[in-house]
C-alpha cells in the first residue's frame, strides 16, 4: 500500500497546486521548460492514469516478493544459480513492457493486463 501511494502522491501534489493557483509561485525556481512539462503532464493525464499506475505497482510488488523468495530459496539451498534465474525471470518479464515504451503497443490497458497476469502467477508461486 505504501509503495502504491508513493506512486500517486508525487503526481497529485502538483495537481493540488494547480487547482489552488500556487503552482508557478511554489515551483518558480525550476527551469521554465521543466515547469511547463510538469504542468502539461498533470493537465494531460487524468486520475485514471495514476490509478492504473497504482494497480500496476500492486502486481509488480507481488512479482518482487516472489523473486525475493526465489533468491532466498537459492540461499537456503546454497545455489547461486537461483539468483541468476531470478535476474533472467525479471528481465524476461520486463522485456515485453518495452514494446509499450517504443510505441509498438499503443494501449496502456494491454500492458496493465500483462502485469496483472504476471502478478497473479507470482502470487500462485508465492503460495507454492
Amino acid 118: pLDDT: 92
Mean pLDDT for each consecutive 10-residue tract of the chain (128 residues)? 69 83 86 87 76 80 93 95 94 87 84 89 93
Amino acid 95: pLDDT: 87
Q: What whole-number distance in Å separates Cα of residue 64 and Cα of residue 32?
A: 38
Q: What whole-number distance in Å separates Cα of residue 104 and Cα of residue 77?
A: 41
Find the helix or strand (DSSP H, E) in which 56 lies: helix 47-77
Q: What whole-number distance in Å separates Cα of residue 109 and Cα of residue 119?
A: 15
CA angle 67-74-128, nearest 5°? 55
Amino acid 4: pLDDT: 63
Q: What whole-number distance in Å separates Cα of residue 12 and Cα of residue 23?
A: 12
Amino acid at each position: 500500500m505504501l509503495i502504491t501511494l508513493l506512486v500517486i502522491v508525487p503526481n497529485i501534489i502538483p495537481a493540488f497546486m494547480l487547482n489552488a493557483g500556487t503552482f508557478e509561485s511554489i515551483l518558480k525556481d525550476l527551469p521554465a521548460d521543466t515547469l511547463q512539462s510538469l504542468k502539461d503532464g498533470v493537465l494531460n493525464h487524468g486520475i485514471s492514469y495514476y490509478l492504473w499506475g497504482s494497480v500496476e505497482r500492486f502486481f509488480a510488488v507481488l512479482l518482487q516478493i516472489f523473486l525475493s523468495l526465489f533468491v532466498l530459496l537459492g540461499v537456503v539451498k546454497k545455489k547461486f544459480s537461483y539468483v541468476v534465474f531470478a535476474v533472467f525471470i525479471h528481465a524476461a518479464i520486463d522485456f515485453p513492457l518495452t514494446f509499450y515504451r517504443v510505441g509498438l503497443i499503443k494501449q496502456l490497458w494491454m500492458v496493465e493486463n500483462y502485469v496483472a497476469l504476471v502478478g497473479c502467477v507470482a502470487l500462485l508461486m508465492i503460495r507454492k
